[in-house]
A and B are shown apart, each in its own frame.
Chain A
Amino acid sequence: MTHTLDNFSLERRRLLKTGLNAGLLAGAASILPTWALGADKGNLGLPALTGTNFDLTVSKFPVRINGRTGHAVGVNGTVPAPLIRFREGDDITLNVKNTLDVDTSIHWHGLLVPFEMDGVPGVTFTGIKPRQTFQYKFSVPQNGTYWYHSHSGLQEQSGHYGPIIIDPKGVDPVKYDREYVLVLGDWTFTDPHRIFAKLKKNAESLNFNQSTVGNPMGLGGMWGAMRMSPNDLADVTGETYTYVINGHSTADNFNMVFNPGERVRLRIINAAAMTLFNVRMPGLPMIVVQADGLNVRPIETDEFQMGVAETYDVIVEPTEAKAFAFVAESIDRSGQVVATLGHRPGMRAEAPKMRAVPMLTMKDMGMDHAAMGHDMGDMASMKKDDAGDMPMDHSKMGHDMGGIDHAAMGHGAMAHGSMSHGPNPNGPSVQIPKIEADIEVGPGVANVAAVPTARLDEPGIGLENVNHRVLTYSQLRSLDPNPDTRAPEREVVVHLTSNMERYMWSFDGVKFSEVTESIKFYEGERVRLTLVNNTMMPHPIHLHGMFFDVVNGGGNHMPRKHTIITKPGEKLSVDVTAEHVGDWAFHCHLIYHMHAGMMQVVSVLPASKPRMSDGGMDHSKMDHSKMDHSQMNHDAMGGTK
């Protein structure tokens, strides 16, 4: 059953009207905006509000979640913050008033705003001081589902996040009869600073799925020898968090309504602080139509893993008059939140049983099957075809893994010159200049992945063996042809590094507090950014101000993302067009990883400025982490002044 455009517009208008009335009736009972309320409280789909002026007030206020009262830091008194919806290309003004005792900020996640409007204290502006009102003004050349959040302290964990919808200037290629926005969160009644302090004191203390006598994988063998845990899927778990959708726990039941046969668009935003979610709707296939705000070729799937800060728009077409569950399960399966899509307001779908908790494998350590010798019988489930991805000389790596000499297995022993990249269908056939720091094991770096592998074709930790379809990054194709199809001129390699035991997180072994020089891109250039994950956790990596063209074999339809999950032991590449001059934050979107130091700045320098020649310097031989910058003649490098 399909509607003509006119028909469903009419119907939407009708629904809106009833929605508004019901909203007024329920208004006294709840302080949430209508779009975040259940259908039983009058939310029958999103209102098509557009505006150009928004007044936002940041404050501390009480909230009621899962039947318990807590304290939030947020915008206009609600968690999530108000939906900001406007039209592509419009000039937008947002007045943000800070009524807190501390600084605040708002970052417009994924929006290509001028950098001084990007909202990162210390990088793009000074932050919004107490009792100050800061005016953001911008227009953006894009449409889709995005979100906004604080970039100050740990406010995001306390509820300072909300959705953005930018309606396209022209006709939306995505057709739907009804839409909802689902903002996923990991709410806590604990002070976020206490959570961080606990992680620093005892990094495993919030994990209640540790190895035991009955489940001893992490105690002995390679895991015990290396003091790594195969159970470390999430630093902060369901013990601490109440997982929420639009501020509703499973018990609060965020319920949506549909008429059988309708195309329902779900705009899903992972606004959690620390939680990757597995999203599925049992019995209802989802057609993914958008990822990170940009349209993708529709692809039908049954489940996908969603990194913090990623967004996915899906279309579902339920024909049966029944209540479907929308399930967001935390990656470590310590908890989940269930919402309902039913044919009547107020329905409650049955929550599925929690699935078995997955464990990490040696591959997540960046140790390839082929290189592991013969003592890895328990790793039989690992895919063997990855051995072909990395044309490295395994004979140089030493097959005696019993000794576990990481220093010898690290990059030092692998001579960068002899390492070629994995085969890349889009990339140039000649080696391009590369900047890569030498990573050494030390207090902040517990592991250097010996054999990082290509994992874009994998669904994510714990979803390898489910008996239905799971989306992978390698399946995504941009709906529109890529605006820039040039081959990259230069490669910048960034290593994701950590020591879980000390709860230290960094890029290239250098914490943000220790950074003395930003990563330099040059206006107009096409850069290949390669991420190598030497840690045991997946990291949603976000670069402000530009999109990642994910090098996934998509030709000139590579998916373009603002945030990409880098799996444990993975090496992946994205191509970036450095268009927007400015200093842009670059960080892991897991808030406590960022807080611990997993952050950098990418400076896109104007083309008019002189540029450091890469030909003259062999960066691959340079150890950037140990460079004494105070001794360097920065004038000779140009650019920064």
Chain B
Amino acid sequence: MRALILLKTSLVALLALSASFTPALADDNDTPPWSMADEYWGEDAMKAARDKVQHKHGNLKNYMIMGDRLEWQDTGGDGTFLWDAQGWYGGDIDKLYIKTEGEYAFDDSEFEDAEVQALWSRAVSPFWDVQAGLRYDLEPKGRTHAVLGVQGLAPYWFEVDAAAFLSTDGDLSARAETEYDLRFTQRLTLQPRAELNFSAQDIPELQIGAGLSSFDAGLRLRYEIRREFAPYVGLEWQKSLGDTADLVRADGGDPDDVLAVIGIRAWF
């Protein structure tokens, strides 16, 4: 419960902080940063040119769409399709992130999990962004969560994405993912990946028990035909833990499973 209050307080504090960070507009200043050419070419024309040149040198917006894992998993029968993708739009400091991940089981012709997040992401240090926003679960049920997380690059080149989720039902959970690129050559890369899921309380309808609920570890070997496009093969070990494992077992599932995967990593 204390963690919950802490999270709520943090969210409020962060939103307040964001308001105070609203970037100052360059032209709300009466004194231009330089102006000697005005007398040759006119004040208005030079102001327009000055605003344009400043905007173009450091203030352009960019975007990226990254399908980190678009893969077929050998879960028996026709298998499962998994997607884990994110995209961003924005400047160097503030970005809008959309993240989505989920699984579709071909045998049952249905989504097992599907979620989408919309996050405001703010660079707070050389390698870290703080992210806050909403997550909506398309499957199962239609839960909405408040999200507070960090994404960035830890020492020794570990990509980290960690977030806490507070659902509209009051359930608190968290997820931490890390990936590492181990290059064998300039194009052949082995990517170990680990994901931990936590829950602050039992959520029986989702087969989740309180505590560390599940652990995924993967190894994916990809070949970058181009930097932006890399097919891969790999193995994924999915393990449910503690009460969660019991719940999965009770439902006839396997709390400890190793899967072969084949997929594509692509970005543009």
Contacts and interface: CB of A to CB of B under 8 A. Distances in A.
A79 to B, nearest CB: 23
B41 A212 contact: no
Contact of A443 (B48, B93, B186): B93
B40 A226 contact: no
Contacts of A126: 41-42, 45-46, 48-49
Nearest to A116: B40
A121 interface: yes
B62 A115 contact: no
A502 B58 contact: no
Interface string B169-186: 000000000000011111
A89 interface: no
A126 B40 CA distance: 10
Contacts of B186: 208-210, 212
Interface string A471-513: 0000000000000000000000000000101101010000111
Contacts of B42: 126
A597 B57 contact: yes
A516 B33 contact: yes
B29 interface: yes
> In the complex, which range does the number of interface residues on chain B fall in?
35 or more
Contacts of A123: 34, 37, 50, 53
A451 interface: no
A542 interface: no
A502 B54 contact: no
Contacts of B45: 126
B89 to A, nearest CB: 11
Interface in A435-451: 441-446
Contacts of A220: 156
Contacts of B106: none
Interface stretch (B96-104, B118-126, B202-210, B256-264): B118-126
B33 A515 contact: yes
B41 A443 contact: no
Interface string B83-102: 00000000011000000000
B219 to A, nearest CB: 14
B58 to A, nearest CB: 3
Contacts of B40: 116, 125
A583 B40 CA distance: 12
A442 B157 CA distance: 18
Contact of A596 (B29, B57, B127, B228): B57
Contacts of A517: 31, 33
A583 B48 contact: no
Interface stretch (A196-204, A281-289, A455-463, A568-576): A196-204
B33 A518 contact: yes
Contacts of A404: 155
Contacts of B50: 122-123
B26 to A, nearest CB: 7
B183 A211 contact: yes
11 contacts: A116-B37, A122-B49, A126-B49, A198-B227, A201-B62, A212-B185, A445-B126, A516-B33, A583-B34, A583-B37, A629-B31
